[in-house]
């Protein structure tokens, strides 16, 4: 068995409450999700046109882990401008 390291994460209380009500193992779900995310990132090749945000040729943006909310100015502008 692999040695485990204790870490802490911060989650919204209502999310934790719902997970516990459903009998979910939060640690195992986080572990599985992190393993899958790492596999995807390690297997991603911008030059071959992966699926993590490739737009056009030669550009590789990846996922935005901190997306911003639209401002009122963003909502006023045309999506094609």
Domain boundaries, the chain: 9-42
User: Which of the four pLDDT bands, split at 50, 70 and 90, describes residue 5?
Assistant: very high
Instruction: Report how far apart the first and last C-alpha atoms of the chain are (Å, whole number).
Output: 55
Q: Are 38 and 27 in contact (CB under 8 A)?
A: no
48-to-37, 51, 80 alpha-carbon distances in Å:
19, 10, 28
23-to-11, 12, 20, 36, 80 alpha-carbon distances in Å:
16, 17, 5, 22, 46
Which carries the bigger pLDDT value, residue 24 or residue 58?
A: 24
65-to-3, 52, 62 alpha-carbon distances in Å:
28, 12, 9
Which carries the bigger pLDDT value, residue 51 or residue 72?
A: 72
pLDDT at site 56: 44
Which carries the bigger pLDDT value, residue 2 or residue 25?
A: 25
pLDDT, tens only, 10-55: 999 999 999 999 999 999 999 999 999 998 888 866 656 555 544 4
């Amino acid at each position: 068995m692999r040695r485990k390291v204790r870490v802490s994460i911060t989650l919204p209380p209502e999310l934790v409450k719902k997970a516990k009500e459903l009998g979910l193992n939060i640690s195992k779900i986080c572990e599985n999700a992190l393993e899958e995310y790492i596999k995807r990132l390690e297997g991603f090749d911008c030059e071959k046109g992966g699926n993590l945000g490739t737009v056009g040729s030669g550009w590789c943006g990846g996922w935005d882990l901190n997306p911003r909310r639209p401002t009122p100015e963003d909502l006023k502008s045309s999506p094609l401008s």
